[in-house]
Structures are given as structure tokens and as C-alpha cells.
Amino acid sequence: MGRFSFSKSRNCINTNVSAHLIKQDMTKLTGLIILTLFVGQIHAQESSFNYTRDFVKILEQTNNQSSDLYIDKLLKRFKSNDNRLTDREILSLLIGFTDDPYFKPYHYLTVERRIYTLNLKGKFNDALQLADSLLVTVPLSQQSIIEKSYSYYKLGQADSSDFYMWKFKRIMTTMASTGDGLSPESAIFSLGPADGQNFIRKYLASDIGTMGSGQDKNGNFLDILTAMTTDEKTRKIKGQTMYFHVQHAVKKMFDPEELADTMKNTKKNKKQKLKVGKDGRVYIKD
């Protein structure tokens, strides 16, 4: 796939154009949605990633200094935009970061949302500064990466925008390689709780309908989102339920007893709703 860039709506990402040549019509994105879903399904078939079977195995390799998947090696390559990085290596990098003490995705949601708001208000230099501060400890913050790319784009610094867009693109295509997301068994790996939303809005160029949560057959926690697309023939809007693995993120939100209770309650109600509190954390609604 080609390079990503910003469309007229900052919530969508187009492909095959550079960040400083943005002339895309939003109506052309329907084909992109279908193509991206198709490509994602092909990647998923090639990857055969199984969360329950593979997560711990990969995590162990990322902690092994003699392994090619050692997290420090992968992170150094990611920071330098190494084009030789494979989907497997970037997936290993994402999984490896779940063991980092700074990986508290529900806690730094507030900061990520603040970065987005600063860009929305046109305070691009402030957004860059805040994004930089978060990326020091959370170098894989998807929201910080894409917002930093957007800030540079709006400031007319195309090369810098493309540099961070590459990182966002590689995370997106890696996510697509882990599953088609169309069932709990083929759920897509999502590092943080907002990454599935980015995948639908920015990678699939689709709106989001309902948002809920549930579990797969092995008890792994899932974000369940509805991607809203327009049928090319009938022009009717239809929803496609998509599933994202966030078990590793949820573990960072609750203590062990709270997590057990949450899993028990979620099993009773497959689509419990999540809400974001004033402290930036995400809670399960009763």
C-alpha cells in the first residue's frame, strides 16, 4: 500500500498520495474501505496470529536479549523508520511494550485526548510539545504519533509529517495482519483502548456506531466496535461489527480481583458499555 496522508477530514487517512499533495474527495473513500478490509483479511490469513497461543510466547522473546525480537532492538529500528521491519517484528514490538512499566493505556488517555484537542484548536506547536513529552515514555502511543504527523502537516513540514505517518501506517498494517476483526476468534490486536477506534476511523475511513466490550471463548477481553460503511450500490449505511484484543490493556486497568469480577460480569453481558471518567480512565458501566 502507498503512503498515508491526511484527507480534508482529519479523522480519515488516504493512501497513495504525499502529505503535501492533499486533494482527495471524501466520496472516493468507499472503495478504500472495501480494499483495506480485503487486504487486511489477506494479511490475517498469512499471519495466523492467535492471541491465546502466541501472546506470551512472543512476549518472552521480546525480553530475551539474544533474540532478534528483543524489544530494545526493535524499538531502535522503529524509531529510525527501518523499512525492513516486518509485520511480525512490529507486532512483537507492540506486545513487548505491554511489559513496560509505562504501559498504562487507560491512564494516559487524558494526555492523548489533550494532544488531539490542541490540534483541533490550531495550537500545533503546543500539540507537538505535549506529544513529544508522552512519546519519551510511551514511544508507541498511536494517538501521539498520528497527531504529531498532523501537527507537522499543518505547519507545512511535509517531511516531518511523513516521518511520523510512516510509523502510524506500519502500526495500522500490522494490526490488519493479526486478524480480519470480523469475529471474536479473528480479533485484531490493539495495543491500547483507543487504537481500535483509530483503526476504523483512520485506516478504514469509516465512522463508528456502537461501542461495547466482551470476551472471546478463552476469556480474553475484547473491544467490540461497529464500523459504519456505505453500500456502493444501494447507498445505504450498514454496520459491520469488529473485534479487537485488549486483554493486555485491561490488565493494567484493574487489580487482579477487580479484573476477575469484570470478566465475570462481562461474560453475563457480552456488550457492556465503557465510559471514560474525568481522570481519563475507562470504566465498565453497571
90, 188: one domain? no
60, 146: one domain? yes
* pLDDT recorded at residue 92: 98
Number of domains in the chain: 2
* pLDDT recorded at residue 285: 47
Mean per-residue pLDDT, 68-76: 98
146, 221: one domain? no
262, 192: one domain? yes
Instruction: Say if CB 202 and CB 11 are below 8 A apart.
Output: yes
Spell 222-250 as b/e; 16+ CB within 10 A means b: bbbbbbebbeeeeeeeeebbbbbbbbbbb
38, 85: one domain? yes
Q: Which residues contact 103 (CB under 8 A, 6 or more apart)?
A: 97, 138, 252
Domain interval for residue 191 = 184-268
Asked if residue 170 is part of any domain, the answer here is yes
169, 54: one domain? yes
161, 218: one domain? no
Last residue of a domain, one of 177, 205, 231: 177
Which CATH number fits the domain that encloses residue 58?
1.25.40
Distance, CA of 167 to CA of 143 (rounded, Å): 11
* pLDDT recorded at residue 201: 94
Q: pLDDT at residue 190 above 90?
A: yes
230, 262: one domain? yes
42, 169: one domain? yes
Does 172 or 270 have the greater pLDDT score? 172
Mean per-residue pLDDT, 42-55: 74
Last residue of a domain, one of 114, 145, 177: 177
100-156 pLDDT, tens digit per residue, is 999 999 899 999 999 999 999 999 999 999 999 999 999 999 999 999 999 999 999
141, 257: one domain? no
Asked if residue 120 is part of any domain, the answer here is yes
Asked if residue 8 is part of any domain, the answer here is no
51-68 pLDDT, tens digit per residue, is 999 999 999 999 999 999
Asked if residue 104 is part of any domain, the answer here is yes
This prediction's pTM: 0.78
157, 257: one domain? no
Instruction: Give me the long-range contacts of 38-41 (CB less than 8 A, separation at least 24).
Output: 39/1, 39/176, 40/176, 40/177, 40/180, 40/181, 41/180
Q: pLDDT at residue 26 above 60?
A: no
Q: pLDDT at residue 1 above 50?
A: no
% of the chain at pLDDT higher than 70: 72
Last residue of a domain, one of 177, 202, 223: 177
Q: Radius of gyration of the chain from Cα atoms?
A: 18
206, 264: one domain? yes
